[in-house]
Chain A
Amino acid sequence: MDNGKELLVSKIANGTVIDHINASRSLIVLKILNIRGTEGFRIAIVMNAPSTRMGKKDIVKLENYYPKDEDVQKISLIAQDATINIIKDYKVIKKYKVEIPKKIKGLLRCNNPTCITRKPDEQVTSTFTLINREKIMYQCDYCGSILTENDIIKDLTGEMK
């Protein structure tokens, strides 16, 4: 956390702080991580906090929660500048920036209904390749369809059917 104004939310003893989330995307981040609040652990969300680097940013603190690799990959697709801080005994024991993957396996669904990866009973793992880093565009390795950032958000938040 790069400014001293975090006092409105107390520090967590153990867990994860996801910092530098694009402003107002913290709720989407929680949604794609499937965190609803009913899990029982403490969650703090800070939205539109000032940031020297980003102007405004969101921060999410999750007590006793540790993301898996797949979760980090999902976060990177929604919040490209996010940093993950793993906290133990009030100390940051690990801190890293998410990295947008060149290849995504199995995580996303192709938006083309006649893509072989969507054929019922075929059980093909979808694979996508990053074709534009700035605009977050991925191309299906099987059918060539392009997923935009919006398509990805819709898919990950379950709005695509």
Chain B
Amino acid sequence: MWKGRDVINILDFSRNDLEVLFEKADYMRKNQYRLKNELSDIIIGLAFFEPSTRTRMSFETAAKRLGAETVGFVSEEATSIAKGESFSDTIRMLDSYVDLIVVRHKYEGAALLASNIAEKPIINAGDGKSHHPTQAMLDLYTTKTLFNTIDGLTFAFIGDLKYSRTVSSLIFGLTAFNPKEIILISPSSLRLREEIRLVAEERGLRLREEENIEAISDADVIYVTRIQKERFPDLQEYERVRGSYRINKELLDKYAKDDAKVLHALPRIDELSRDIDDTKFQAYFTQARLGIPIRMALLSLVLKGE
């Protein structure tokens, strides 16, 4: 059952829920440009307390393709929050205006708090380093579209696995399926957080930690993340680490499986070389494109049901 649900943490969604979502997304993909009446009675609030051009635009586009209106703001500076209004009060206000609220915030747990306050459904578009369920839904959907299955595949995650909510949310999402193995490739200082690992293992995922990039050789899906400078105490260490977790064509030709696919939530800096763009490995542009139908499906399911 999707109608009226908050989308805070992908762990709240069963395999069946996600399969219903993927089916709906397939439908949206085929009919993307002919659905102007689906949500024509709806106003969606976009509350981006933290700037994010991509996620906001994809939600806005999805809403508009379905005929919904959007209102909202980006970043704290743009609103009265800067003048001292609390997050809770802003959510309370929006709740009385719109039919659904999409929230992004730099504090972990903000979306859950919003869902405790608001009567209307809340969609979490990223809360601190905690969750990014719609990105994970998109990543699972992309995998399903590329391989026609999620079960039995091996996933390699590369880079900053400690602070990336994209990685932790996708790993949580994978617990609803039966992937063969999850390979976690990162410097020791950026390993997956204990609290994420505990949940994943308890729910039956097989995790393997590696430090060398060659470990991508077993993977069907190679998921690349950015390593951020702020995570390192000194610049030298950052440069060294960054250099050893960069993916390019040469490396893929040498180590990757023939039909492996590279995913990345974008935007990229230099962790993902542009020379992969025209190769068979590239799937991140496909992934970006599928962001619209999956969010159309999500909005439609939450607002109108199955």
Contacts and interface: CB of A to CB of B under 8 A. Distances in A.
Contacts, number: 53
Contacts of A116: 87, 105, 107-110, 112-113, 127
Contacts of B109: 115-117, 140-143
A144 interface: yes
A119 interface: yes
Nearest to B112: A142
Interface in B63-95: 84, 86-88
A139 interface: yes
Interface string B122-134: 0000011110000
Contact of A121 (B84, B110, B128): B84
Nearest to B107: A116
A123 B88 CA distance: 9
B84 A114 contact: no
B90 to A, nearest CB: 11
Contact of A145 (B84, B87, B113, B195): B195
B113 A124 contact: yes
Contacts of B87: 116, 119, 122
B36 interface: no
Interface residues on A, range: 10 to 19
Contacts of A146: 194-195
A110 to B, nearest CB: 8
Contacts of B107: 114-116, 119, 143
A112 interface: yes
- Please indicate which of the listed interface residues B84, B106, B109 has the most CB atoms of chain A within 10 Å of its own CB: B109
Contacts of B108: 112, 114-116, 142-145
Contact of B113 (A112, A139, A142, A144): A142
Contacts of B194: 146
A122 B108 CA distance: 13
Contacts of B196: 144
A26 B42 CA distance: 60
A117 B116 CA distance: 13
A139 B196 CA distance: 11
Contacts of A114: 106-108, 128-129
12 contacts: A116-B105, A116-B109, A116-B113, A116-B127, A122-B87, A122-B113, A142-B109, A143-B107, A143-B128, A143-B130, A145-B108, A146-B194
Closest 10 CB pairs of A and B: A142-B109, A143-B108, A116-B109, A116-B107, A143-B109, A116-B110, A146-B195, A116-B113, A115-B108, A114-B128
Given A121-B86, A122-B86, A131-B198, 5 more contacts: A114-B107, A117-B109, A139-B195, A142-B108, A144-B195
